[in-house]
Amino acid sequence: MSSNRNYDFLIKLLLIGDSGVGKSCCLLRFSEDSFTPSFITTIGIDFKIRTIELDGKRVKLQIWDTAGQERFRTITTAYYRGAMGILLVYDVTDERSFNNIRTWFANVEQHATEGVNKILIGNKCDWEEKRVVSTERGQQLADELGIPFLEVSAKSNINIDKAFYSLAADIKKRLIDNQKNEQPAASGVNVGESSGAGGNDVLQRHMKTRMEGERDIGIWGFTAGLPAGKDTQRNSVRERRT
């Protein structure tokens, strides 16, 4: 990594779940602190970037928003590899989206890197009069899958930051713990020590390996046929909610 980089960790996150559950709205709220009442249909794949601070370290989050429609499934599953954290999102007002979480989880187990951090997200928790999935059922499913659980609202900005921050914190801890275990005793480099420009040699090598793997599937070059490279690359269309 270049010595002039402005972050200590680079973490790739993935949002998955049925179409219409509010994945894009969650991402928009977190990355730009905004909300649109229009229905956003993601075409294939999309991403945004936000840099946060955790324990005095700058963490650059590259957050990928996947299309929920079946016709894009082949495209989106290719992006599971290399993801360090995955948010499985359902809509608390949509029973089917909740029931489909097990299928999404199975896809993660099949296509994602082993040991990837996951969190279950129940969106639209502010819409109590329309709710069909209770908080208790959401927690029971999360316990069954062995992952954390949060209910959020992109519209009312409830727990959105908490969802992304908690997942990023778990990933950061896992990276440091893994490198401590893998680091040869004679290397003379301790995880947590800085080596030039506030960097960490061990974690730099880890992230370099991640990025090289991601280049293999093209996510650092082109996204859904559009050139990447900007902090925000939208590839979506808006449809009026009916």
> pLDDT digit string (tens) for 90-112?
999 999 999 999 999 999 999 99
Q: Is the pLDDT confidence value at 51 over 80?
A: yes
How far, in Å, are 91, 152, 205 from residue 127 at the CA level? Answer: 10, 11, 45
Q: Which of 98, 106, 83 is nearest to 11 (CA)?
A: 83
Q: Using CB atoms within 10 A of its CB, is residue 151 exposed (0-12), middle (13-18) or buried (19+)?
A: buried
pLDDT for 35 equals 80
Average pLDDT over every residue of 231-236: 38
Please report the domains of the chain, with CATH numbers, ordered by start residue. 9-229 (3.40.50.300)
Among 12-16, 19-23, 35-39, the range scoring the smallest mean pLDDT is 35-39
Among 4-8, 80-84, 237-241, the range scoring the smallest mean pLDDT is 237-241
> How many Cα atoms occupy the beta-carbon half-sphere of 67 within 13 Å?
20
Q: Is the pLDDT confidence value at 6 over 80?
A: yes
pLDDT for 26 equals 95
Q: What is the pTM assigned to this prediction?
A: 0.73
pLDDT for 40 equals 59
Average pLDDT over every residue of 179-195: 54
Average pLDDT over every residue of 118-135: 98
Q: Are 146 and 118 in contact (CB under 8 A)?
A: no
- Helix (H/G/I), strand (E/B), else coil: 174: helix
Q: Is the pLDDT confidence value at 160 over 70?
A: yes
pLDDT for 82 equals 81
Q: Which of 50, 22, 54 is nearest to 38 (CA)?
A: 22
Average pLDDT over every residue of 101-128: 95
Question: In sequence order, which residues have a C-beta less than 8 Å from that of residue 143 and are 6 or more positions away?
Answer: 149
Using pLDDT thresholds of 50, 70 and 90, give the confidence band for residue 46: confident
| Joined tokens for residue 162 | 């908490």
Using pLDDT thresholds of 50, 70 and 90, give the confidence band for residue 158: very high
pLDDT for 101 equals 98
| Joined tokens for residue 148 | 């954390």
pLDDT for 36 equals 76
Q: Are 202 and 189 in contact (CB under 8 A)?
A: yes
How far, in Å, are 11, 79, 178, 208 from residue 82 at the CA level? Answer: 10, 7, 16, 12
